Each structure stands twice: as C-alpha cells, then as structure tokens.
Amino acid sequence: MGFWSQSHLRVNKNAQSQLGSTKIVGMRRTMTQRSEKWYHAGLQFKCSGCGDCCTGEPGFVWLDEGEIETLAKLLDIPLEEFQNSYTRRIGARWSLVELPDGDCVFFDSEKRSCGVYEARPRQCRTWPFWDSNLESPETWQATCRDCPGSGTGQVVSLEDIEMQRREVKL
C-alpha cells in the first residue's frame, strides 16, 4: 500500500482507490491530470476531548472583535473588563492570554474541557483543518501524531475541510 496507506496517513479507506491519477515520487506527490488537493477524498477527525490543543507550549489564539464581544457576553462581563483580563495585543491583533504554563486561560485542567466551548474562537473551532496541517501528507501525519482525534472517527469531506480551512489564517 505504500505511503498513502490508511495506517500512515489516516485518510479514509477509499482514498487509495481514488488516487488513481496520483504518482508517488519519494515522499512527494505529483498530479498527472488535474490539480487536486492531496486530501480530496476527505480526512478523518473526531475530537477526543483530550485538551492537548489547549495546553502546552505558549502560542497565540487569535480573536477578532466579534469573538471578543461574544466571549464577554458569555461570561457576562463588560467588554473592557474582558479585554483587560483575557486578551493581549500583539501588533494590530488580539490574542487570548495564557496561563504561566502555556495553557489557554479558558481551559479547565480538572475537567479537561473548555470553559467557553460554545463560543470558542474560530481558530479553535477549525482545528485541525488549518493550512499548516494540510500542506502535505507529511504535515497531516505529524498532526495525527500530536492530536489523538486527527485521523480517527468519521471522514470529513473535502468541502467541509475547505470551508474550515478558509475560515482562519494564522
């Protein structure tokens, strides 16, 4: 089955049969007919609720003004208080603050859950379908190693992946 096998990429079972126009050259691919996304047959994802994407090394969870307003309303606090307590300015953008250990300020480590799940930012809602994870089969494979939900569960269609991918640019 080679590099495209489900055990390596965790793509759906039909993916190999649908890759008829693809040639594998080493660890890279070339298309012999039309240009298709390498994940055109869809990818599996089912959030395991592990919280790994909310914890660990420091980073950024980007917010727009609408998301800031929604989160402030959810927490029933004034907008200015929310911004002062839960966000930081990075250049022209806003990001959630983090706890000293790098965890998201809204991650409940005892429950292993998000305290604002119903209003979580777009960046969180679209994981793992970010450009950086979809660049190549290799980047998706790395995502599957880091995220126990990536590569498991129902197949997410190309259309749904692309809709989520276009929603956020990091």
Residue 124: HSE in the Cβ half-sphere, 13 Å Cα cutoff: 27
For the chain, give the number of residues: 170
Q: Checking DSSP bridges between strand 87-90 and strand 62-63, what pairing results, if any?
A: unpaired
Cα distance between residue 96 and residue 83, in whole Å: 9
Q: Which residue has the tokens 């996304």?
A: 37
- Helices 65-75, 79-86: crossing angle, 10 deg rounding: 100
Per-residue pLDDT of the chain (170 residues; tens, 9 = 90+): 222 223 333 333 333 333 333 333 344 444 444 468 999 999 999 999 888 999 988 899 999 999 999 999 999 999 999 999 999 999 999 999 999 999 999 999 999 899 999 999 999 999 999 999 999 999 999 999 999 999 999 999 999 999 999 998 77
Give the residue extent of every domain in the chain: 2-49+127-167, 52-124
Where does the chain have alpha helices with state H?
A: 6-9, 65-75, 79-86, 122-125, 131-134, 137-146, 158-167
